[in-house]
Amino acid sequence: MNDKHITELLDNTPLASLSPGDREQIRSHADMCEPCRDAFAAAQLSAAVIKERAQLVTEPSPFFQTRVMAAWREQQATESGPALWRLWKSARALVSSMALTTAALAALSFMVSAPATTSVLDQTAAAPSAESVILGQDNDDQLTYEQVLNTIYVDEEDK
Amino acid sequence: MFSVASRFFRQRSLVEEAAQEVFLKAYTQLGSFEGRGSLEGWLTRIATNTCLNMLRGSKRRPEMTVSDLTEEEDQWLEHQRSDAEAKSVENSVVAADLADRLLSVLSPEDQQALLMIDGEQASIKEVAEATGWSESKVKVRAFRARKKIREAMERLLGSKREVMSR
């Protein structure tokens, strides 16, 4: 039993968790085996430094909460930019197709209504102006002074 | 959160940086918490993974040699060998410094396993829950880390003896 080297036993389990039987085995073997004695001494020191290291806990500074809140606000601010970008990316195809359709419809309506607009303009030009209608200055309907006299005389002669 | 981060970092600024990141992650991922385990366990896992990610980029140091020992560390080793019960705050800091330098040859994952099991007396199951690793993986990591640290300490003590005998 004592002839068996103990290094595997030392590495398998934390020293603090070794059973009394295992401890006895380690001690009795370490007494007669120098390499295992060195290994046991090193294991004890390693366990001691690791235990000390594990007990060190850093406490938060008084400003830690403020720091976290500031970081959180910053994160929220940077996330709002990418959120709009994501929204644009998802809606980009829809918006583009809508814009294209609108442009096509506008072009189509312009082409179809272009002759009609011309005729309306022509009609507008040919039509008597509002002023002439109101004042009775229509050239076609207006008789000259001579025509009026002739008309009167002819009528009287006929009578 | 701070105790988990303190396991990985000694510098206050790094501990706070890690804790802050954990808080922000926890807040944004709160919706993904399914309530199957405890909230503490969920936070511990986030904290562990955050710290491991922060450490993954850092380089491992070469193994410590006797010439790297500070005077205090040298005295601490002597002191511990002669009287294992002696303890003071200064000694604890020196021991923690020495531990950090020995642990720096290990991967962050192996450090984590060793510090939790040997330092905090956590069970294999507790480490598995905190890290998300399988129990056999935790055992392998702890065994490997313990062996490496013991061998490094053994070499350190051996070369110290050599220096003393000259």
3-state secondary structure string, chain B? Answer: CHHHHHHHCCCHHHHHHHHHHHHHHHHHCHHHCCCCCCHHHHHHHHHHHHHHHHHHCCCCCCCCCHHHCCHHHHHHHHHHHHCCCCCCHHHHHHHHHHHHHHHCCCCHHHHHHHHHHHHCCCCHHHHHHHHCCCHHHHHHHHHHHHHHHHHHHHHHHHHHHHHHHC
Structural domains in chain B (count): 2
Query: Is the Cα torsion angle B78, B80, B85, B87 positive or negative in sign?
Result: positive
Higher pLDDT, B144 or B157: B144
A13-54 confidence digits (pLDDT tens): 898 888 899 889 888 898 888 889 999 988 988 898 898 888
Domain boundary among B40, B58, B76: B58
Does residue B32 share a domain with residue B54?
yes
Between the CA atoms of B6, B45, B51 and B117, what dihedral angle is there, to the nearest 10 degrees? 50
Domain extent at residue B51: 1-58
Q: Structure pTM?
A: 0.65
In a domain, A103, yes or no: no
pLDDT surpassing 70 at residue B160: yes
B55-74 residues touching A, CB cutoff 8 A: none
Distance, in Å, from the CA atom of B23 to the CA atom of B1, rounded to the nearest integer, reads 9
Residue B106 touches partner A, C-beta closer than 8 Å: no
Does residue B93 share a domain with residue B43?
no
Does residue B120 share a domain with residue B66?
yes
Does residue B160 share a domain with residue B103?
yes
Does residue B53 share a domain with residue B111?
no
Structural domains in chain A (count): 2
Q: Are A10 and B150 within 8 A, CB to CB?
A: yes
CA distance A13 to chain B (A): 8
Does residue B112 share a domain with residue B75?
yes
- What's the mean per-residue pLDDT of chain B? 83
Contacts of A57 in chain B (CB under 8 A): 2-3, 6
Count of all residues that appear for chain A in the document: 159
A118-128 as b/e: b if 16+ CB within 10 A = eeeeeeeeeee
In a domain, A44, yes or no: yes
**Residue in B45, B11, B3 with CA at minimum distance from that of residue B26:** B45
Domain extent at residue A139: 129-159
Instruction: Indicate the residue type of B46.
Output: I
B60-72 confidence digits (pLDDT tens): 666 667 677 777 7
Does residue B36 share a domain with residue B96?
no
Does residue B70 share a domain with residue B127?
yes
In a domain, A158, yes or no: yes
Provide the phi-psi class of B159: left if phi over 0, else alpha when psi is between -120 and 50, else beta.
alpha
Does residue B95 share a domain with residue B31?
no
CA distance B37 to chain A (A): 25
- For residue B146, the model assigns a pLDDT of 94
